[in-house]
Amino acid sequence: MGIFDNSSLEIFKIKQFRYFILARFFLTLGIQSQMSTINFQVYYEFTKEEFVLGMIGLAEAVPFIITSFFSGHYADLLNRKKIILSGIFMLLIGAIALYINSAPFISVLRSFGLPALFMIVIVFGVVRSFLAASVQPFMTSFIPRHLYTQSSTWNSTVWHIGAILGPVIAGLIYAFRGQLHADWCYLLNIAFYVLAFVFIAATSYKQTFIPENTESIVQSMKVGLNFVFKNKMVLSALSLDLFAVLFGGAVALIPAFTDKILHLGPEAYGLLRTSPAIGAVLMALIMSVKPPGKKQV
């Protein structure tokens, strides 16, 4: 009996999925640890103002939201593998720039300081928008229909594992032996992005949908909005997610909370930052055992 003969592991018989899930893991580790490190650096090395922490979060969110209006449109038209590889490459370049901006023995970019961090975070938001629109459709292109649910479950699980480990790793390395090591964290980000790039590049991909008559971006947005507002279930789910993300943005202030309220260091930030992901994993486990039914609220 093979290691992947178990029904819950059947998806791993597909080599392309194994490459994809490894890339997904390292990409999530890189993104989560990098944003945590940026928050550390802003708070502990530049300013301890909560307003600036909030602006860092806004610098990523606003480009992400604006770009999301057309990133999905281009993800349907262009080769998704190339979009993902280009996105990871941009994240890699950003991590290298962050390392140069933080390394104590390199003074080329250090004079730019906080503005350099903001510029990189803005680009980071744009790239993440294109990745978000491309990753899921890319995965389903090489997964048989009967394994869609299983692939989605493993994809979500691996993302949450990366979301848990990323901030913890960043916190432990950043405050290693009582000193600040943002440059070490960014070096690790570079390694994570390189691994993600390699595994995506190793995944064979064939565009399964090539539109004959392409719509304009405006037409595509109108069709999408009409569908959302006509489908009450989709509208309700999106509205709930919108408010959850809005109020969940308070996590940007965790560095200030751990320092001024709990009087703890970056290591505690890493643990607190992972709490939402840990809660999501626990809830997923509960729902897998006892899924919600019609009589449950």
Q: How confident is the model at residue 210 (pLDDT cuts 50, 70, 90)?
A: low
Half-sphere exposure at residue 239, Cβ-oriented, CA atoms within 13 angstroms: 8
- pLDDT for 297 equals 45
Residue 9 domain flag = no
Q: Based on the number of CB atoms within 10 Å of its own CB, is 212 exposed (0-12), middle (13-18) or buried (19 or more)?
A: exposed
Q: What is the CATH number of the domain that holds 107?
A: 1.20.1250.20
Predicted confidence (pLDDT) at residue 112 exceeds the cutoff of 70? no
Number of domains, the chain: 1
pLDDT at 114: 82
Structure-token pair, residue 285: 């486990």
Signed CA dihedral, 78, 94, 30, 15: sign only: positive
Which pLDDT score is estimated for 130?
94
Chain centroid offset of residue 213 CA: 32
Mean of all residue pLDDT scores within the chain: 82
Percentage, residues of the chain above pLDDT 90: 23
Radius of gyration of the chain measured on its C-alpha atoms: 20
* Higher per-residue pLDDT: 283 or 127: 127
Tokens 């922490």 sit at which residue?
53
**Span 31-47, mean pLDDT?**
88
Residue that has been written with the tokens 């992005």 in this structure: 193
Is 228 within the bounds of a domain?
yes
With beta carbons less than 8 A apart as the criterion, state whether 58 and 64 touch. Answer: no
> 258 lies in a domain?
yes
**What is the predicted pLDDT for the residue at 95?**
93
- Residue 3 within a domain: no
pLDDT in tens, 45-98: 888 888 888 888 888 888 988 898 888 888 888 889 999 999 999 999 999 988
Residue 141 lies in a domain: yes
> Regarding predicted confidence, which is higher, 124 or 8?
124
Mean pLDDT in residue range 27-40:
92
Residue 295 falls inside a structural domain: no
Query: Which residue did the predictor score with more confidence, 80 or 212?
Result: 80
With a CB cutoff of 8 Å and minimum separation 6, the contacts of 283 are: none
In a domain, 7, yes or no: no
Asked if residue 134 is part of any domain, the answer here is yes
- Catalogue the long-range contacts made by 101-105 (C-beta closer than 8 Å, 24 or more residues apart): 102/41, 102/182, 102/183, 102/186, 103/183, 104/183
The domain of 90 spans 14-206+214-289
3-state secondary structure 225-279: HHHHHHCHHHHHHHHHHHHHHHHHHHHHHHHHHHHHHCCCCHHHHHHHHCHHHHH
The answer to whether the CB of 121 falls within 8 A of the CB of 41 is no
